[in-house]
Amino acid sequence: MKVIIVGCGKVGETLAAELNDEGNDVTVVDQNSKKVKYIANKYDIMGVIGNGATREVQKEAGVDTADLIIAVTGSDELNLLCCLMAKKSGDCHTIARIKNPEYAQDAPHLRDELGLAMVINPEYAAAEEIKRILNFPSAIKVETFSKGRVELVKFRMPENSPLIGLSLRDAMIKFKSNVLVCTVERSEEAYIPKGDFVFAEKDVISIIASAKSAADFFDKIGYKSHRVKSVTVIGGSDITHYLCELLDRSGMRIKIIEKAPEKCSELASKFPNVTVINGDPADEDTLVEEGAAEGDAFIALTSHDEENILLSLFAKNADCRKVITKINRIEYDGVISKLDLDSIIYPKNLTADMIIRYIRARQNTLGSNMETLYNLIKGEVEVAEFTVSESSPIIGKPLSELKFKDNALVAAILRDRQLIIPRGQAVINAGDSVVTVTKLLALRDISDILA
């Protein structure tokens, strides 16, 4: 697919890298010549310098033959204009990034009126992920499928866990829980475990289950959760704004520490139930004085990754029970993972997942629509949800009779609002929603997991 990306910021670069790796023909556009040359040379793709909202620059980038234009500049208005020009100039699909909370409610209207394929909001998606984690604070990460009916929960093995030393098969027999263990991360290795896989200390485990079954499983293995009643948020960003909206009726006490007085005034006016403190979060005395790490959860959402990391380490050192860290740059993911930061949010990855899901669905000719896509373990394991068509070769036979590729797993089947954790005799029917976990990256159809 030929894709034009307008905007060479962090989101644009992440998309360029991901879409190029997927085998797409990518061109980046930006008025900053240094950014264009850097990304074009780094990923060996085409680059065009200029205003991506003008017909002349879009034509130079190849809009007449492009399949998709993605506008992710720092300006919502410029992104919408880019898409409008592209729709008038060529026959391509368009995606716009809109991050300003003032436009959030109008996003569906803008999408329909301008004929956009998608409106993406990395900040809102990040706030939604933070909310899911706060609702299940024992988890490192929580993702949902099938409109929230299926949950993927990632957690770190607690000390003295009864799972340690048990094989996966024996653990399922012993605890009799309706969950499926889909991945285990150990040191720098990732596994899609089979029945003889043995759990060890410090494993990071991902399970798929209904919310009720996941809670039952944690109760049986003695992994007690705590309800989050008070939250400290560092930074008054757009993510903070969306998070306050999402948590407004949750009953949680929210405290925000923000350096800029104008942001403090805006947040205090918009959210009267939230405590907003004007102070420098980089000053340890301010953090201590305001009891920043004394609540149930601490969320670092400043615009600087380094500051977020240091603030999170401060909260961990103060024994805050739940720490969530926003990271924009993904280049140092390997180093960051060794810092034991608890839960990490990557807004740029969330955006890339949404767009790649859309592109793969457009490229799919077999008919099993991809509904959801997550990078569970970056660059190693993906989780995808498909709606299965009548023509799919995977329907009508027990899973035990199908030949699957190595490191591919059918993790859940949703049929008529009922969740089925699949065993050997489970059968996939047309119309089912099916969740797959696989090391086979770039799946476009569920049949790709068949050998």
Domain boundaries, the chain: 2-120, 127-220, 230-345, 363-449
Q: Which residue has the higher pLDDT, 227 or 310?
A: 310
Question: CATH topology for 2-120?
Answer: Rossmann fold (3.40.50)
Q: Which helix (H) or strand (E) holds 311?
A: helix 305-317
pLDDT at residue 366 greater than cutoff 60: no
Whether residue 197 contacts residue 167, with contact meaning beta carbons closer than 8 Å, is answered with yes
- Whether 361 shows a pLDDT value over 80: the answer reads no
Helix (H, G, I), strand (E, B) or coil at 326: strand
Name which of 214, 217, 219, 189 is nearest 204 in CA terms. Answer: 189
Q: Do domains 230-345 and 363-449 have the same CATH topology?
A: no
User: Would you say 205 and 157 are in contact if contact means Cβ atoms under 8 Å apart?
Assistant: yes
**182-205 mean pLDDT:** 91
Residue 150: pLDDT over 60: yes
Number of H helices, E strands in the chain: 15, 22
Residue 104 has pLDDT above 60, yes or no: yes
Q: Hey, how many other C-beta atoms are within 10 angstroms of the C-beta on 196?
A: 9
Picking from 47-61, 149-163, 311-325, 337-351, which range would have the lowest pLDDT averaged per residue? 337-351
Distance, in Å, from the CA atom of 115 to the CA atom of 148, rounded to the nearest integer, reads: 28
CATH architecture for segment(s) 127-220 = 2-Layer Sandwich (3.30)
88 neighbors 309 (Cβ within 8 angstroms): no
Number of Cβ within 10 Å of residue 1's Cβ equals 16
pTM: 0.85
CA 124, CA 252: separation in Å to the nearest integer? Answer: 19
Class of domain 363-449: alpha beta
Instruction: Return left, alpha or beta for 340; rule: phi > 0 is left, psi -120 to 50 is alpha, else beta.
Output: left
Fold category of 230-345 in CATH: Rossmann fold (3.40.50)
